[in-house]
A and B are shown apart, each in its own frame.
Chain A
Amino acid sequence: MISLRGVSLTYANGVRALDDVDLEIAKGAFVFLVGHSGTGKSSLLKLLYREMTPSAGNVFVDGIRVDKLTRRKVAQLRRNIGVVFQDFKLLAHKTVWENVAFALQVTGARTKDVMRQVPRALDMVGLAHKSRMFPSELSGGEQQRCAIARALVNNPKLLLCDEPTGNLDPSNTTEIMELLQRINLKGTTVVVATHNQAVVDRMRRRVVRLEDGRILHDDERGFYFGGLGQTQVLSG
């Protein structure tokens, strides 16, 4: 699903966010991207949905070379990628239903499809009963579920989450992570950038750790700080 080959990313100010990174993520995988703030996690996600282009190397998503896309094709690409952020990015003056429908409507979707897909996405995240409420009337966890519904409404093959639980308390965090697992079980590839060690260590999925723009370790069923889990916390 995702393939990065020799990818480097240097900002205009000379800071090297990614340094010759190779990474393969299979279809249907669930992957944590971990590391301190500023180690290039968000930048890596941005390369995938073409918010940024690499200074060197190639980025492939679902067989498409993303770094070479024209502006028009970028729009097409993003309809196949759902993105979720720490700050939800919901529109305050629109209801839950309208926020989710918005993602379809602005791509020119037919009303018939909107009416069919929005309830399905809201059901998936368990917000169908609050579809007429505004974001300000929801809890943080519910707002994030609304954002996830919006990311899912296009039936994307890939869901990217940038610190999805960064603004949430532990119980809401658990809820959101369980939701992401369920989405993954339905076949969507999920990549979660986080520095929530508890979540990563509990879930034991593939963990890719970035440090100073390089991949420090990459383990199946890994821990936040590497293969040995908690013991690394003490020394790391």
Chain B
Amino acid sequence: MDWGRLKFFLGEVFTNFTRNAAMQVTAIGTVAVTIVMLGAFLYVRDTVASVGNGLLSKIEIAVYLTDATTDAQSKTIAAKLAADPRIASVEYVPKRDGLRRLQEVVGKDFDTSLLTTNPLPNAFHVRVHRPDQVAVVAAHIDRFAGVAKTDYAADTVDKLLRVVDVLARIGLVMIGLLVFTAAIIIANTIRLTVFARRREIAIMQLVGATNMYIRMPFIAEGMLAGVLGAGLALGVLYIARLEVIPKLAQMLAFVPFQVNEGMLALECLAVGAAVGMISAWLSVGRYLRA
């Protein structure tokens, strides 16, 4: 490792960064505002997704067997279900257990001892790994010999899946739009710093620096501005979280606030760095080609 070379590079980045401090503040501020909005949205998205997934993971497919189904058939079905990689768990519920569970759910108002025969069929209760596979797996099981019908909370699954999906899409579009807007503003800022340094660039080109080498300090600078902006935004978000989330959690007691905050912070930092780098690349590139 050639420390002198690294020192020169970092020195160039640092002096240029501080020399254009006012413009860098603009860039950092733009990134910060963008990422505060982005971070808040991502928090909501992740919360909704975790609620949705929490509910979905509890969805069961009830597989009812016909009364004529033999023990052998029922064993075959059990084996097939156990072998399916999409299925997380299988539970056999014979008809008397089914009746007892029903009794537990409906309570004392419904006296099952009045029934002369048990009207419930034998059944399997199946849980799948991925909520979006509920419908497919249910339809698949429906065709097994000895299965009367399958049942699950179709409406709930569909709605939840749709909500989670829509939010994910909106999230992507939002990230795209915010990155685009921020990149334009930052590209303009960096264009000014490029212009302020046109003498250096001219000399670099004259003495045979490659375009890649000329670009690098600007890109490092853009990245620095982006990461600093993102850091600032994360600070703001953190304070907001301390203030807002406990109150929300109180109001919405049933909502599990289980967001992977470390991941979220990394996402924000990555977006900030990417915005800075992309805009630097663009604004220097335009200058080098001219």
Smallest CB gap from B3: residue in A: A111
Q: Is the CB of A108 within 8 A of B208?
A: no
Residues of A near B200 (CB, < 8 A) are: 91
Residues of B near A150 (CB, < 8 A) are: 207
Interface residue ranges of A99-134 to B (CB < 8 Å): 102-103, 105-108, 110-111, 114-115
Q: Is the CB of A154 within 8 A of B208?
A: yes
B210 in the interface, Cβ–Cβ < 8 Å?
yes
Residues of A near B4 (CB, < 8 A) are: 110-111, 114-115
How far, in Å, is A167 (CB) from chain B's closest CB? 17
Chain A interface size range: 20 to 34
Q: Is the CB of B210 within 8 A of A72?
A: yes
B2 in the interface, Cβ–Cβ < 8 Å?
yes
Report the bound CA distance from A103 to B210 in whole Å. Answer: 12
A89 in the interface, Cβ–Cβ < 8 Å?
yes
Q: A75-B208, A79-B208 are in contact. Are A108 and B213 (CB under 8 A)?
A: yes
Residues of A near B2 (CB, < 8 A) are: 110-111
How far, in Å, is A228 (CB) from chain B's closest CB? 38
How far, in Å, is B4 (CB) from chain A's closest CB? 3
Q: Is the CB of B5 within 8 A of A103?
A: no
Inter-chain residue pair count (beta carbon < 8 A) = 57
Report the bound CA distance from A105 to B209 in whole Å. Answer: 9
Interface residue ranges of A31-90 to B (CB < 8 Å): 49, 71-72, 74-79, 83, 89
Most buried by B among A71, A79, A91, A108: A108
How far, in Å, is B237 (CB) from chain A's closest CB? 38
What mask results when residues 1 to 22 of chain B are scored 1 for a CB within 8 Å of chain A, else 0?
Answer: 0111100100000010001000
A-B contact pairs, 12 of them (CB 8 A): A71-B211, A74-B208, A75-B208, A78-B208, A79-B208, A89-B203, A93-B15, A105-B5, A107-B207, A110-B5, A150-B207, A154-B207
Q: 10 extra interchain contacts, Cβ-Cβ under 8 A, other than A89-B202, A107-B209, A114-B4?
A: A76-B208, A79-B207, A93-B15, A103-B203, A105-B5, A106-B209, A106-B213, A107-B208, A108-B5, A154-B208
